[in-house]
Structure 1
Amino acid sequence: MPLNEFAERRNLLHRDSDAQTVLRHALDDIQLGKVAMVSSFGAESVVLLHMISQINPATPVIFLDTEMLFPETLQYQKDVAKKLGLTDVRVVTPSRAAVLAEDVDGLLHQADTDACCDLRKTRPLAAALKDFDGWITGRKRYQNGQRAALPLFEKDGDKIKVNPLANWGPADLKAYIEKHNLPRHPLVAQGYPSIGCMPCTSRVNAGEDPRAGRWRNSEKEECGIHFENGKMVRRGQAA
């Protein structure tokens, strides 16, 4: 079955399903195949990670360590994985040879953020997902740009991407975290509602979009992990 048709059928099937049902089906779907979750262990990641732990804590979880993350994120990843009992967290780093060839001084992000994300995120993720048929993300429609039309299931190259929290809003996330007494990323309380690499993440002021601190003062709004036909999403390209 063509992947576009597969995604359309799953979206129809789950048009009224809650996030846990979508997630459980994705993990058990024989037609979908082998699935991994990709998590940044960022500001809201603990919600989906907790759901995974309740369904199958042995689910492969891919964590991209770009080698430019906040120390708080690296520690949070270890603490959350331990607390939730996740048994197959795979820490993926960029190719040492590629970093030495393309960013030996660690300053590539100052000259070309797209190239830096490609080196440290997009290519390492592609390699990590090579043996999987689908992957689970924590993206949501309320987040800006193309995410406003985000489906639960979508074709992503030769794989299916699953977005169980697509229709969740900030209030849903807050309520779930409080209900299950889940640990928050320590930087959230310091004014970072969206957390990426240190050089490209800044505090967000009151009234700003939660992702305003990502690549501030630039048109860039996605790292390149989520893109179509090789093109990164840029602010203003799509409603």
Structure 2
Amino acid sequence: MRKVSLLSIAPFVAAVAVLPAALVLSSDAHAQAKAPAAASKGPSAEEIGKRVQNFYDSTKTFKATFTQTYTIKVQNVKKESKGTVIFEKPGKMSFTYDAPNGNRVVSDGNIIRVYEKENEQMFETPVKGSQYPAALAFLMGKGQLTKDFDLKLLDAAQMKFEGGYVLEGTPREATPAYQKVLLYVDAQTNQVRRVLVLDAQGNRNRFDFSAPVVNQPVTKGEFEFTAPPGTRVIKP
């Protein structure tokens, strides 16, 4: 998939990010929070990972606007898209891309559908057989950050993210979808503001989240999608 590289299955998800997924801190007021103490005196990567996990474990739904920046290294091409993302436990997600993009990424918890408006095609993949990154899976009530990743705390100041923490996650189970994911975590709320997914080819898939809202009712039918007539449906 060329237009939607969200979760390398094809979201976010992200992703990644996801991811994700994910990086300049969003314009959210939390971005102005005071930088945490140096890593040696502050919480460990494992502790931050648990804080993030606990926050999302306590949420039923998550909604935010996003900016996705996908960089293809070999072509030196950067593509930017914007839209809205909604997650609902267990395992549901919906990415709606703003016009003129018009793409959609939807999962009802069983099937992931990736619709590419420009190419008039849609990919359908069973969730069970997909490779969506655990970096975004925790948003959907799937996976555990501290179990799925070896976490490392990076220098937030050097990463130009002084309003929080930057976690580097290396998947404990090798996957062709991505090699590493960076999570940019707000120090005050423990929410992930940005996800950056890195693959073996050096491509970067980044998601910046803003205006997050949790535990709000989701419109009926949000996780259902029927492609327009004439769309070519591709299944594995």
TM-score (norm: length of structure 2): 0.28
Between Structure 1 and Structure 2, the one with more strand by share is 2
Between Structure 1 and Structure 2, the one with more helix by share is 1
Indicate the structure whose relative CO is greater, using CA pairs within 8 Å and at least 6 residues apart: 2
